[in-house]
Every structure is written in C-alpha cells, then in structure tokens.
C-alpha cells in the first residue's frame, strides 16, 4: 500500500486542488467539484501540476491510510476530468428499465416494478434495442457513489447461475452451473 501512496498524482489541465486547514481536499475540474476529508496525520502538498501525500511514520495504520487517500484523490482527479460510467444489462424475458428524471423504474420479474431514487450526482439512461437486452447506463464524477448505486441496482435481482437471468454488469462473466438434466445424463452414462 505504501508504494501506491508514494506516487505523485499529476493534475491535468483545468484541474485545481486546494487543501483547507481541517485537512479537507477539494478538487475542481471541468465536470464539477469533489471534496474528501483526510486523516489529520496525512499531509497533502500541492506542487505545480502534481499532488504528493506524505505520512508521518512507518506504522501499519499510516501506511494503509497513505495508500488509501492517494487512491481516493487520484479517483477524484479522474472523475472531475473524464467522469465514470457503469453499464448494467437486464437479462430475462420481459425485463425492462425506464428513467424519468432522477427516478429509475425497473421490472425484473416481480409482481411490482422496483423504483430507485437516484442522487443528483448520478445521471442515468436506459436503452432497449430490438432483439437485445435492456441496458442501464449510469454516469457520475464520483467513483464511490456510482459503484454503490450500480451494486444496489444489481442487488435487486442478482444473476442466477443456471440460466444467467438477472441484472449483471456489461462484460461480467458469470460462472454457470449444469442443471439437473446434465447431472442425470452423466449418472445414466456410467
């Protein structure tokens, strides 16, 4: 973890980092602004074009916090310049998704549609192309928030291992199991 903490964070053009007296770091960029409060032991130095974090001792706790806060600040810098995107795929007959404002409505085989109130920092869109599974796209500058929202949406109906039905990330590889018929066919062949 300490090796990660020692790496400097290079700031792209248009990104500014400021540190308050209460050790709160603010990162401003073209897409918005993010803030993160750091542990008082970790010091942040902003040089021209880079940010360096330093720890006071080699204690295990300080080494862990050093790497953690460096990674969080690097994610904040990437978020305010490029942003983050997560795509979820709804696999199943009759599964659909619809976005109205900050409200996401998904129908995934329950007797009722599931509603999600999205935070204002997360933008969502849903697309349904003929012959393909519906896809929900989430965009945000906050990596932690978008990851948490995507995990909550996926948790409504996790992909099951037999047919793969459920909500999964685009590109996610699922471990599939053989059903009863495959097990019975293997037993009768012996």
> Are 76 and 89 within one domain?
no
Among all chains, which residue has been given the structure tokens 């992909």? Answer: 159
pTM, full prediction: 0.86
Question: In this structure, is residue 67 part of a structural domain?
Answer: yes
Considering the domain architecture, whether residues 31 and 67 belong to the same structural domain is answered as yes
Structural domain boundaries enclosing 64: 2-81
Domain total in the chain: 2
The answer as to whether 142 is a domain residue is yes
| pLDDT tens, position by position, 78-101 | 999 999 999 999 999 999 999 999
The order of strands in the sheet holding 166-169 is 123-127, 135-140, 84-91, 166-169
Same domain flag for 20 and 63: yes
Q: Are residues 124 and 69 in the same domain?
A: no
Quick one: 67 and 91 in the same domain?
A: no
Crossing angle of the two packed helices 60-81 and 143-156, in degrees rounded to 10: 90
- Which of 41, 65, 81 terminates a domain? The answer is 81
Distances (CA, A) of 177 to 154, 163, 181, 187, 188: 20, 8, 11, 16, 19
23-76 tens-digit pLDDT: 899 999 999 999 999 999 999 999 888 999 999 998 999 989 999 999 999 999
Q: What share of the chain is helix, strand, coil (3-state, %, to 5)?
A: 25, 35, 40
Both 101 and 68 in one domain: the answer is no
Q: Are residues 73 and 88 in the same domain?
A: no
- Determine the pLDDT at residue 132: 92
DSSP designation for 155: H
Choose among 98, 99, 81, 85: nearest CA to 145: 85
What is the pLDDT averaged over residues 159-173?
92
């Amino acid at each position: 973890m300490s090796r990660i903490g020692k790496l400097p964070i290079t700031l792209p053009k248009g990104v500014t980092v400021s540190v308050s007296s209460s050790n709160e770091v603010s990162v401003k960029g073209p897409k918005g602004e993010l803030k993160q409060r750091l542990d008082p032991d970790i010091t942040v130095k902003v040089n021209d074009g880079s940010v360096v974090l330093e720890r006071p001792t080699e204690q295990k706790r300080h080494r862990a916090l050093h790497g953690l806060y460096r990674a969080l600040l690097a994610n904040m810098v990437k978020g305010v310049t490029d942003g983050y995107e997560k795509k979820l795929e709804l696999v199943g007959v009759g599964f659909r998704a619809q976005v109205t404002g900050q409200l996401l409505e998904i129908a995934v085989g329950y007797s009722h549609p599931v509603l999600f109130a999205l935070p204002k920092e997360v933008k969502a869109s849903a697309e349904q192309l003929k012959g393909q599974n519906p896809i929900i796209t989430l965009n945000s500058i906050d990596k932690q928030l978008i990851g948490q929202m995507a995990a909550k949406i996926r948790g409504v109906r996790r992909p099951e291992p037999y047919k793969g039905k459920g909500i999964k990330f685009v590109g996610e590889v699922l471990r599939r199991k053989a059903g009863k018929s495959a097990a019975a066919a293997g037993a009768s062949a012996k």
